[in-house]
Every structure is written in structure tokens, then in C-alpha cells.
Amino acid sequence: MTRRKLGTTDLEISILGFGASPFGNVFGDADPAEAIRAVHQAIDEEINFFDVSPYYGLTLAETRLGEALEGRRHNICLSTKCGRYGDRDFDFSAHRIRQGLEESLTRLRTDYVDLLFAHDVEFGSPEQIVEETLPAMRKLQEEGKVRYVGISGYPPGFLIRIAQAIPVDAILNYCHYNLLVNDMDHQLTPFAKERGIGLINASPLHMGILTEQGGPAWHPAPGGVRNAVRRVAELCRARGANLSDIALRFCFDHPDAATTLVGMSATQEVSRNVTAVDGGPPPEILKEIDAILSPVHNIIWISGRPENNLPA
């Protein structure tokens, strides 16, 4: 498994990252025993980056991941988050950041995490994130409970604005670099590269849209996007290919993203995703896919506070 350096940190992480949000039953009920087997298989396949959050399954994902990592913690790079604890439960205060991490460490059965992200910062005020949240996270770093700190969220511009105001070690951006959207590269990617900030790309399947199933009913993408993706799925089937495999490989090839996070909870998913790392799609099918998706390319939505969705 190829590994890349995360910015200027000393972390070398696999280009395929294990997203543990499915452990919290956010995409349907996960089999706890199978989830543990999936983690063990992933480590055996040299996947060494695991990401989770107390928000996923309202602490269930962290609890299950902690159980799966028992005795294997030293083999991996572990990331969790703070500040978001439910659909509408956000608390970026210094007190809650500290309390939340202590609770996460207990569930994860470890005394430190390699990365701690302020989760979905666009739902908070930039002043609090800069003046209270991140300084509290740096204090935890000084105490040895966190190795590196970062921010995660949806609007690339807001992530840039935060990182311009206060240094961070890593930025996690989701749904802004895949077959449907590439505006992460318009400003965020060059910004992170220039500053030496580690960049993590998440949701290469655009929250499930770039699959045979076409994504969950709650997905914010408009009907035109869904229709275009259905046509792409039909094209892939006609070419003897799988849309999800092509979408994953497209993201793994990004030269400046240290890792691409993919949600997994079963051994079959681990095997398929590892195979996608090594199997590049033929250039001709990517051209056909791009032709179908170009009319709906870079359609995005509002996340968090409207004012936090403005360009950097």
C-alpha cells in the first residue's frame, strides 16, 4: 500500500484511509463482528490511517473502532474529531473540546490520538474556532494527548479562512474532489501545499451518489446530478467496469491529497477498495464519463452557516 507524508508532520499514511463512520450505523446497520474483522483485514492490507468521530452513531462508531483496535493500536495512525456530537449538537468551547477528547480516548481505548480535527467548523463561528477551539486543541497537543491538530468541513473557502488566521497541521475536506466536483483544487489544494498543511480528501463516492445504488434519499444533490450518474453507471456496466471502482481510483491518483477516506465496515468492502488502489481506469472511459457529467460538474450545496460558505 502506497503511503504519503501528511504535510510537514512525521505521519506517513496510506493513500486509502479507513473511514469508520459506517460503524455508527449511519448507512444501515453494521455487523459488529464483521466490522472488527474488516479493521483487522485492513491493517493486514497495510491500511494504516483510521478516522472516526463521536458524531458517527452518537459515539457508537468510536466504541466499535476502539474494540477493533485492541492490541493493534501501535500499528496505525488514529484520527478522531471534536466539536460536533449530533445532528444539531455543536459545542466548540474549550471546556467541551477537552471533555470530548477524554471521552473519545476512553471509547477508543487509547491514551492519545495522532490527529484531532475540529469537526464541521462551518457550523461554528470563525472567531470561536480561531480564538478558543484550536488553542484548546493545541493545549491538548502540549499535554501529549494529541499529536497533531486540524480542521474538517465542507466549504473549502471557509477552511482556508480559518487556516489563514491560525496555523493547523491538516485539513480534511469532503465532497469537493471526485468525479462530480473538483473545486477543492481551485484554491484549497494549492493553499495547503504552499503552507505545508496535510490535505485529506473524503467522500470519494460523493456520499454514496457515485455508486450503482445512486445514493441515499436524503442526499442534497439535485435530480439532474442523480440522472447523470445513472447514465454513467449504465456506461460503466456496458464497458464491463464498476462506477465506484473508477470513482475511487480517480481520487487515489490525486498527487497532493495524502489520503482518501473511504467508509468501510465489512471485509468485502476492504478487499474491493484495496483492489481499486491498484486498478486504474482506462483513459477512454474517463473521457466518456466526463462528457456525461460535465453539465452537472461542480454543483455544490450550503453547509453550516450561510456566511461560512462564501469564497475565501
In the numeric block, the cell 489544494 is attached to: 189
Neighbouring residues of 203: CB distance < 8 A, sequence distance ≥ 6: 174, 175, 178, 261
Catalytic residue at 56?
Answer: yes
CA gap 214, 279 in Å, rounded: 22
Q: Do 143 and 155 contact (CB within 8 A), yes or no?
A: no
Burial 258-270 (b: 16+ CB within 10 A, else e): bbbbbbbbbbebb
CA gap 145, 159 in Å, rounded: 24
Phi then psi for 238, rounded to 5 degrees?
Answer: -65, -25
DSSP string, 73-136: GGGSEEEEEESB-SSS-B---HHHHHHHHHHHHHHHT-S-EEEEEETTGGGS-HHHIIIIIHHH
- In angstroms, how far is the first alpha carbon of the chain from the final one? 35
HSE (CB half, 13 Å, CA atoms) of 228? 19
Catalytic residue among 56, 148, 174, 177: 56
Grid coordinates of 264: 468501510
- 3-state class of 237 per DSSP? helix
Torsion over CA: 235, 202, 83, 74 (sign): positive
Active site residues: 56
